[in-house]
Chains A and B, each alone.
Chain A
Amino acid sequence: MKIEFYLNSHLVVVDVDPMQSLLHTLRGTMSHTATKEGCGEGECGACSVLFNDRLVNACMMPISQVQGGDVMTLEGLRQTEKGQCVINALLEAKGVQCGFCTPGMVLALYALLEADPNPTELAIRTAISGNLCRCTGYGMIVEAAKIAAEKGEGLW
């Protein structure tokens, strides 16, 4: 089935199984591999992307539902000033080790700061509560959110 949508602001068309997940379309069909597959059932957040400006798990969305919509992945976000702000904050806070969760974390932190430019610690922890990290530890990632809020002042 032919599906047309915006991927990182570019109109794309794919011809795939209508129930295939957006995650598999991104990774398998389109070779956009920043979005990771972890648990495959919406619990780890490694596949987080923005769909119509909201954070979603790409593993849980059949590509049919993406028809006509707008998808932003790390590949697109890192081209923006806000995306770079989050990425730099993660590097500064040493919030990256193996990096597997990082694309999802960047998207989750971006979604948080877009909604709330000065988040409390609780708001930060809630925002990343669906993104599992098994090596860095959340302290540095929470710190990164604070750095991005501070250094990106006026940006959000």
Chain B
Amino acid sequence: MVNVYRPDTLAQALDTLSMGKLTVFSGGTDLMVQHGVRAGMSPRFEQDVLFVDAIEELQYIASAEPEHKGESGQEQALYIGAGVVLADIEQHPLVPSVLRQSVAKIAAPALRNRATLAGNICNASPAADSLPALYLLDARVVLSSIRGQREMALADFILAPRVTALKPDEMLTHIVIPQYDLPEVFYHKVGTRAANALSKLSVAGLARIKRYPKKAPVIADWRVAFGAVGPTVVRSRELESLVVGQSLDTLAKPGFVQQVVGCYREIIRPIDDQRSTAAYRQQASLNLLTRWLEGLSRS
């Protein structure tokens, strides 16, 4: 039987973490499945377990909390504590729509009442539904240990499937979302059924259109990210620059959309697995990209 710790302060949790190898357990909805043995038996954990669900300090959603302001130096940023469950993120008015929409597609209500955003990130599944939205928002993570805090881009934190940059004595304590003004939102998840299905693939998009009184509207910002089509989220700032700065008229030309889609065809290289085939994943991703571009051209 493993030892369990369930501190109610972050300081105690970090102290415990510094003692040795522990499994950090928040909602535990992935951990319980991963460590399940069979019906009627307790799950088998190899390491001692540190429950962090009782830590009040990690349960907040707030814009610009000065105490935790990291090296990004953003004045206006949204901070989400690691203890916040998905159901609260889904309903919070300060959370960007693209993230709320993607969180609402994870599993079903009872699971979203326990699972956390931080857990979805640290699990680092290629099919993690919150990740495409967070990549688009240029989200950052704050990692804490008794040695202090460090902050990094989420895209640097997730190294490979199930692998993150977390050190053994660290835990993810805050998620930082720089607050962008990107009103055009696209989100589509493809799964076998509406609830409780892991993604075959997902596509998230964000954009801002500048409208001039006498000139054609111009796409001031445009982003797209693909989930479950590679080891980590696929997002290319280089390809995004093909679209940024174009007028909406250009976007309405079929040739232009085909050109952009053709570029993405080169970088979306999914695999076959139990949930879908590579060919389906690639084509459906590109179809959704086309839908996102065409929808935007009509906006």
Decide: A48 and B110 in contact? CB cutoff 8 A.
yes
Decide: A57 and B109 in contact? CB cutoff 8 A.
no
Of B34-42, B138-146, B245-253, B262-270, the segment with at least 4 beta carbons within 8 Å of chain A is: B34-42
Decide: B42 and A45 in contact? CB cutoff 8 A.
no
Say yes or no for A34: interface residue by CB 8 A criterion.
Answer: no
Question: Provided the pairs A21-B43, A65-B53 are in contact, do residues A54 and B195 lie with their beta carbons within 8 angstroms?
Answer: no
A88 to B107, CA, bound (A): 29
Number of interface residues of B (CB under 8 A): 32
Shortest C-beta distance, A138 to chain B (Å), equals 12
Provide the residues of chain B in CB contact with A55, threshold 8 Å: 109-110, 113
Of B25-33, B121-129, B235-243, the segment with at least 4 beta carbons within 8 Å of chain A is: B25-33
Shortest C-beta distance, B243 to chain A (Å), equals 33
A45 to B25, CA, bound (A): 21
Say yes or no for B108: interface residue by CB 8 A criterion.
Answer: yes
Decide: A130 and B109 in contact? CB cutoff 8 A.
yes
Provide the residues of chain B in CB contact with A24, threshold 8 Å: 40, 42
Of A36-44, A74-82, A92-100, A143-151, the segment with at least 4 beta carbons within 8 Å of chain B is: A36-44
Decide: A129 and B108 in contact? CB cutoff 8 A.
yes
- Report the 6 A-B pairs with minimum CB-CB distance, sorted nearest first: A130-B108, A129-B195, A18-B4, A54-B113, A20-B42, A55-B110
Say yes or no for A59: interface residue by CB 8 A criterion.
Answer: yes
* Residue from the list A20, A37, A42, A111 in contact with B29, Cβ < 8 A: A42
Q: Classify chain A's interface size.
A: 20 to 34
Chain A contact residues, CB within 8 Å of chain B: 1, 17-21, 24, 28, 37, 40-43, 45, 48, 51, 54-57, 59-62, 64-65, 67, 108, 111, 126-127, 129-131
Say yes or no for B114: interface residue by CB 8 A criterion.
Answer: yes
Decide: A65 and B6 in contact? CB cutoff 8 A.
yes
Decide: B87 and A21 in contact? CB cutoff 8 A.
no
Provide the residues of chain B in CB contact with A56, threshold 8 Å: 110, 113-114
Shortest C-beta distance, A123 to chain B (Å), equals 10
* Residue from the list B36, B54, B87, B111 in contact with A57, Cβ < 8 A: B111
A129 to B42, CA, bound (A): 26
* Residue from the list A20, A42, A65 in contact with B107, Cβ < 8 A: A42
Decide: A42 and B33 in contact? CB cutoff 8 A.
yes
Say yes or no for B19: interface residue by CB 8 A criterion.
Answer: no
* Residue from the list A17, A54, A60 in contact with B87, Cβ < 8 A: A54
A59 to B25, CA, bound (A): 15
